[in-house]
Structure 1
Amino acid sequence: MKKLLILCFCIFCFSCKKEAEKALAPNAPKEYKISEEELTKRTKDNLIKKESFQKIIDSVHLKGSILLYDAKTELYYSNDFIWAFEEQLPASTYKIPNSIIALETKAVADQNTIFKWNGEKRFFKSWEADLTLHQAFQRSCVPCYQEVARKIGVKRMNAYIEKLQYGNIKVDSINLDNFWLRGNASISQFQQIDFLKRFQQESLPISKRTSTIVKEIMILKETDNYVLRGKTGWSIEGEHHNGWFVGYVESSNHVFFFATNVAPTSKDFDQKAFQKNRKEVTYKALGEFINLSI
């Protein structure tokens, strides 16, 4: 009995130590700790390593992973599957499910719903205007989607996150309007693609109307040969920057899904280059499979 009490006390102390570490360093960057052994357990024959993707990322002085999924062959391609299994803050990629939930709960009426600007200075000049839902999505307007989240509310947000099976996210009254940017929210590149596949194939438990509207506001480019839909994301934890670009490309008989997650390799952070390069590296990787002409 004495040994059991000592063991329980040790476990309790270890647990408290871990919680204290989290409290003291909430903005510490994530460490990528999935082991080669664990990767092997998760690995299937449909994971194809692409060294060319690594060269693409290296060329713009980033680190991270480009993950592509070919729906026709059911093959995944990446330069770093270990990174692709790790979970990150979803950042503004959450505007995809946030838009879905807003429409399903009638927190917004449609893509033409207007968010009034209060006249206050905002992080980006492009946010300083009255914006429709479509414009707010395209410009990634954080204040607009914070308003959306508050209208949805904690209870409905949590219920729909579970319903949509989107990442590992817990929402409460404190983090309701910023949980996707900081706090107890995470999603991996594989989870992003799983969600996008279900969305594109219309197997999510949502209305056809909602699906149609969100697919429309996600369009980045449409040509005679393909339609490109996507959303970027950018989170900052302390000095740690993490960037996303997720979405899919549809051609006449082919669909490619993508989820890119990258971070800068230098402390000399170039915001404009980072915003541009998370998309550019993805386009170059996709270019090995489909002619995007972007």
Structure 2
Amino acid sequence: MKKTIVNIILIVSILVSCNEKSKTKEILVPEFQSIMNSSNVNGSILIYDLQKDLFYSNNFDWAKIGQLPASTFKIPNSIIALETKVVKNDSTLFKWNGEKRAYKIWEQDLILRDAFQYSCVPCYQEIANKIGEKRMNEYLEKLQFGDMNVTSKNLDVFWLEGASKINQFQQIDFLKRLVNSELKISKTTEEVLRKISFIEKNERYKLYGKTGLSIRNGNNNGWFVGYIKMKNKTYFFATNIEPNENTNKKLFPKLRKEITIKALDYMK
């Protein structure tokens, strides 16, 4: 009887300890929700402190919901293109065929670096079609980028529509493995990804990332994922937002980055 009681106490202690340990890894930040409220959007800011191994967010439940990756998929798509030699480097040229495109900035010849920065969907659809269904699935399994649903019928749109999904924790896990050289890809590919995902730098930090926007059943879902390197700190981030009844729809695409920068400023 005594042995049974001791075992029960031991099990409870272990469970409590594990629970406490998991709680220390996730810190709720009300200030992040204030940033969301002031921008009139719904969603979650998720920031990971690499040195402290801590996650910060205003809404951890939202951060665990899978969403279409939209143009954040240009990160793994670029990796796969480089690893399969579909593109050679960040200066590989994509010629415009003269047809009208959704955005004027896409209506020109673009090198990979600019296609990534301008989020040129037709350029990356060309890449996906050249990679092909088989190699795309093989590399996605290797890279472990969310749960992508790739078939021959949706090869050039699966990241924009359909059943593919990734959550904010998975986005950060993928980026962390990329930055820490854990994806088992070439150093050359890693260097190209650093170049094309670079956004800005100043005396305090270097910022890398990619935005994404999907529209499903008339509903907008916006991403901004990436990482920021400072002198003694590295933060990874994945922001996912949706408009509400008070959102300025014209400003919505800009809010993804603005909200994230405000949250990172709070962390610094």
Counterpart position of 2:53: 74
Q: Once the two structures are aligned, what percentage of the paired residues are identical?
A: 54
Following the alignment from structure 1 to structure 2, what is the Cα–Cα distance between the partners of residues 172 and 107?
19
Change (3 A) 1:227 1:117: same
Following the alignment from structure 2 to structure 1, what is the Cα–Cα distance between the partners of residues 27 and 138?
36
Counterpart position of 2:209: 230
Following the alignment from structure 2 to structure 1, what is the Cα–Cα distance between the partners of residues 148 and 258?
29
Instruction: Pick from 185, 192, 201 the counterpart of residue 164 of structure 2.
Output: 185
Counterpart position of 2:176: 197
Counterpart position of 2:149: 170
Q: Secondary structure at the match of 2:24?
A: coil
AA of the residue aligned to 1:126: I
Q: Secondary structure at the match of 2:155?
A: coil
Instruction: Pick from 241, 255, 261 the counterpart of residue 283 of structure 1.
Output: 261
Given that residues 26 and 54 in structure 2 are in contact (C-alpha distance below 8 angstroms), is that contact kept between their aligned partners in structure 1?
A: yes
Following the alignment from structure 1 to structure 2, what is the Cα–Cα distance between the partners of residues 201 and 222?
20
Following the alignment from structure 1 to structure 2, what is the Cα–Cα distance between the partners of residues 197 and 119?
39
Q: CA deviation at 1:286?
A: 0.2
Please, which runs of 5 or more residues in structure 1 have no aligned partner? 1-39
Instruction: Pick from 206, 214, 227 the counterpart of residue 193 of structure 2.
Output: 214
Following the alignment from structure 1 to structure 2, what is the Cα–Cα distance between the partners of residues 90 and 141?
15
Q: Secondary structure at the match of 2:162?
A: coil
Following the alignment from structure 1 to structure 2, what is the Cα–Cα distance between the partners of residues 191 and 236?
21
AA of the residue aligned to 1:120: E
Following the alignment from structure 1 to structure 2, what is the Cα–Cα distance between the partners of residues 100 and 175?
20
Following the alignment from structure 2 to structure 1, what is the Cα–Cα distance between the partners of residues 179 and 65?
23
Q: CA deviation at 1:44?
A: 3.4
Given that residues 40 and 247 in structure 2 are in contact (C-alpha distance below 8 angstroms), is that contact kept between their aligned partners in structure 1?
A: no
Counterpart position of 1:30: none
Following the alignment from structure 1 to structure 2, what is the Cα–Cα distance between the partners of residues 208 and 50?
36
Counterpart position of 1:16: none
Instruction: Pick from 62, 65, 68 the counterpart of residue 89 of structure 1.
Output: 68
Cα deviation, 1:52-90, whole Å, max 9, x if unaligned, reads 000101111100000000001111000000000100000
Q: Secondary structure at the match of 1:83?
A: helix
Q: Secondary structure at the match of 1:285?
A: helix
Following the alignment from structure 2 to structure 1, what is the Cα–Cα distance between the partners of residues 232 and 224?
23
TM-score by length of 2: 0.90
AA of the residue aligned to 2:255: N
Following the alignment from structure 1 to structure 2, what is the Cα–Cα distance between the partners of residues 211 and 224?
24
1:115 aligns with 2:94: yes
Q: Secondary structure at the match of 2:211?
A: strand
TM-score by length of 1: 0.82
Cα deviation, 1:89-129, whole Å, max 9, x if unaligned, reads 00000000000000000010110001111111111111111
Q: Report the count of equivalent residues.
A: 250
Given that residues 90 and 112 in structure 2 are in contact (C-alpha distance below 8 angstroms), is that contact kept between their aligned partners in structure 1?
A: yes
Q: Secondary structure at the match of 1:129?
A: coil
Q: Secondary structure at the match of 1:170?
A: coil
Q: CA deviation at 1:251?
A: 1.4
AA of the residue aligned to 2:214: S
Q: CA deviation at 1:43?
A: 5.1
CA RMSD in angstroms comes to 1.6
Counterpart position of 2:219: 240
Q: Secondary structure at the match of 1:59?
A: helix
Q: CA deviation at 1:253?
A: 1.9
Instruction: Pick from 147, 160, 167 the counterpart of residue 139 of structure 2.
Output: 160
Q: CA deviation at 1:227?
A: 1.1
Following the alignment from structure 1 to structure 2, what is the Cα–Cα distance between the partners of residues 100 and 71?
23
Given that residues 40 and 246 in structure 2 are in contact (C-alpha distance below 8 angstroms), is that contact kept between their aligned partners in structure 1?
A: no
Following the alignment from structure 1 to structure 2, what is the Cα–Cα distance between the partners of residues 105 and 59?
44
Change (3 A) 1:252 1:259: same
Please, which runs of 5 or more residues in structure 2 have no aligned partner? 1-18
Q: CA deviation at 1:254?
A: 1.0
